[in-house]
Chain A
Amino acid sequence: MIYVENKDLVIPGQVLADDEYYSGRGTFKENGKVCSSLMGLVSLRNKKIRVIPLKSKYVPKKGDVVIGKINDVRFSMWDVDINSPYSGILPAFEVFGREKKELNKVYDVGDVLFLRVVDVDEIKKAKLGLKGRGMGKFKGGIIVDIAPTKVPRLIGKKGSMINMIKDKTNCKIVVGQNGLVWVKGDEDMEQLTKDVIHLIEAEAHTSGLTNKIKNKLYLAIDGEIPPEEVPEEEEEFVLEKPKLQNFKEELEQEEKEAEEEKQEEKEDKPGDDEEEKEDKPNIAEVIEELKRKNKKDNTFSYGESSMNSFILNNKK
């Protein structure tokens, strides 16, 4: 016997079903009944009941990509705030191997980085690393904070939502699985993007959101609603979207895709070369590039970035 339907909104302690159903994430079994332990939406699949929370804290998981802020510089590692009950550490050797360097010259307190969770230990402390493309320090831009459970919604199916926002606002957007979003673009576009992201967060549990956001964006930027060419097909496509259910798997896939696209995007813009390179400081090409440039004019024209001067100093 089941007492709820798929996508129903439930609250903690609510009885969801009788014994013959399996209790999944966000539920527990008591006295032969499956009950919800969270406020969220029901997800039913093959007699397995799960509750997808509306709000939750990020708990680090191996392989996730996150955005973190340097909290403290220690002798051989950085303390990183990853918007979670558990702090992250970025060991020095993850950044420059066996060489010994001064840590605070590379990343200082307050710097925001794009990181990967390399490992999570038994007390849930996350060990972070910079291996992977696009990882490294962000320059400029703003950080928008959303609930980690809403991340798949912000990205949309195959990145549809996030790409639409990117295209329309011309902002660079990086989404961390810990619910932090980095946005860089024109100042007013950054603001608009921030508002839109917050709107998505607030209405993540409603359907037809992509269209709503699309209209809002077009209205804000072009001053008019987009031409009515798509709505028919779009509608069906959109209705399927609130599939928060398999978000973990989907998310991973989407994240990867989104990231790849991001990378492509970055590479596509030769004009931004210097800045992009600064964004991923630990890549060999960067060093090569900088070396070349250094030979050319032999001045630290990138001196304002401690990262680059560091590389230059060591490669001489």
Chain B
Amino acid sequence: MSEMIRQDGRKFDELRPIKIEAGVLERADGSAYLEVGGNKILVAVYGPRESYIRRLLEPNTGVIRVRYNMAPFSVDDRKRPGPDRRSSEISKITADALRPALMLENYPRSMIDIYIEVIEAEGGTRCAGITAASVALVDAGIPMKDIVVGCAAGKVNDEVVLDLSEYEDKEGQADVPLAIMPRTGEITLLQSDGNLTEEEFAKAIDLAMEGCLEVSKLQKEALMKKYSTE
């Protein structure tokens, strides 16, 4: 059963090819570029900077704002530009997934802006966005407890599989995106969309965890690569 080959030729626990690059933008404080399968995502981090929105600032810590945005040309049918319900949701859950890892006590009354731009989308952009955003945050020199990493598992053809592609996401029965702090294994994001039995759900989480740890290694490599010149 688990020897089943998926629609794009992967095994059930195989990730799509990933490429991560840190520090790609000159003018941003931190940035990252990430490709997972057909996804192309660019993240820019600005800050900590003076909060220009008074009501947002916190007297004892810094705050983060995330904007997840899909380019109109990122999907097959042109997406109407601008924020929509889906992108507002993803912006919020991304901020919530990243916040536990950040240590902003030293920057009270400041604000960090994270801009996640999806240039090309092919399933699993929210996890890819979280993965890229945390690389960009490290690149910006923001103190963090851990580098948050995201990965999804799901159910396709009654089989629990890792890292759903766009096709599997649409045709499949369930999608479980997960973000963790890899050192401690703490979960910072867990969503579930579709029908799963209890066992399948547990299996999906385990699978996604393993996927996260795999992606985490690539994140670290990307960061090390940026600064180890010799």
Taking Cβ atoms with an 8 Å cutoff, the residues of A that contact B are 9, 11-13, 15, 26, 28, 30-31, 35, 37-39, 53-57, 59, 85-87, 123-124, 147, 149, 203, 205-206
Given A87-B50, A124-B109, A11:B147 Cβ within 8 A: yes
Min CB gap B44→A, angstroms: 14
Given A11-B138, A85-B107, A35:B183 Cβ within 8 A: yes
Flag the segment in B7-15, B150-158, B194-202, B221-229 that touches A.
Answer: B221-229
Decide: A53 and B145 in contact? CB cutoff 8 A: no
Decide: B59 and A55 in contact? CB cutoff 8 A: no
Checking B30, B50, B181, B224 against A11 with a beta-carbon cut-off of 8 angstroms, the contacting residue is B224
Chain A hits for B141, CB < 8 A: 38-39, 53-57, 147, 149
Decide: B230 and A12 in contact? CB cutoff 8 A: no
Min CB gap A72→B, angstroms: 13
21 A-B residue pairings within 8 Å (CB atoms): A12-B101, A12-B138, A13-B144, A13-B147, A13-B183, A26-B143, A31-B184, A35-B145, A37-B144, A37-B145, A39-B223, A53-B141, A55-B139, A56-B141, A57-B49, A85-B110, A86-B50, A87-B50, A123-B59, A205-B229, A206-B229
* Residues 108-164 of B at the A interface (beta carbon under 8 Å): 108-110, 138-141, 143-147
User: Is B220 part of the binding interface, using a Cβ–Cβ cutoff of 8 Å?
Assistant: yes
- Total number of B residues with any Cβ neighbor in A under 8 Å: 35
* Residues 28-79 of B at the A interface (beta carbon under 8 Å): 29-30, 47-50, 59, 62
User: Is B177 part of the binding interface, using a Cβ–Cβ cutoff of 8 Å?
Assistant: no
Bound: A29/B134 CA distance, A? 21
CB-CB nearest in chain B for A205:
B227
Decide: A12 and B107 in contact? CB cutoff 8 A: no
User: Is B172 part of the binding interface, using a Cβ–Cβ cutoff of 8 Å?
Assistant: no
Chain B hits for A37, CB < 8 A: 103, 143-145
Chain A hits for B138, CB < 8 A: 11-12, 39
Decide: A13 and B181 in contact? CB cutoff 8 A: yes
Decide: B48 and A28 in contact? CB cutoff 8 A: no
User: Is B106 part of the binding interface, using a Cβ–Cβ cutoff of 8 Å?
Assistant: yes
Checking A28, A85, A149, A205 against B145 with a beta-carbon cut-off of 8 angstroms, the contacting residue is A28
The binding surface of chain B is classed by DSSP as loop
Checking A11, A13, A31, A206 against B230 with a beta-carbon cut-off of 8 angstroms, the contacting residue is A206
Chain A hits for B146, CB < 8 A: 12-13
Bound: A12/B98 CA distance, A? 13
Decide: A38 and B143 in contact? CB cutoff 8 A: yes
Name the residue among B141, B223, B230 with the largest chain A CB count within 10 angstroms.
Answer: B141
Chain A hits for B107, CB < 8 A: 57, 59, 85
Decide: B106 and A59 in contact? CB cutoff 8 A: yes
Decide: A11 and B183 in contact? CB cutoff 8 A: no
Given A37-B103, A86-B50, A9:B147 Cβ within 8 A: no
Chain A hits for B182, CB < 8 A: 13
CB-CB nearest in chain A for B22:
A39
Chain A hits for B229, CB < 8 A: 203, 205-206
Min CB gap A179→B, angstroms: 12
Chain A hits for B144, CB < 8 A: 12-13, 37-38
CB-CB nearest in chain A for B146:
A13
Bound: A14/B229 CA distance, A? 20
| Given A13-B145, A13-B146, A57-B29, 7 new contacts (CB under 8 A) | A9-B224, A12-B145, A26-B143, A31-B184, A37-B143, A59-B106, A86-B109
Chain A hits for B50, CB < 8 A: 85-87
CB-CB nearest in chain B for A12:
B144
Bound: A206/B62 CA distance, A? 32
CB-CB nearest in chain B for A39:
B138
Bound: A86/B52 CA distance, A? 11
* Residues 78-113 of B at the A interface (beta carbon under 8 Å): 101, 103, 106-110
Give the 8 A-B residue pairs with the shortest CB-CB distance, closest first: A55-B141, A13-B146, A85-B110, A12-B144, A37-B143, A85-B48, A56-B141, A13-B183
CB-CB nearest in chain B for A147:
B141
Bound: A54/B107 CA distance, A? 17
Min CB gap A97→B, angstroms: 29
Decide: A55 and B30 in contact? CB cutoff 8 A: yes
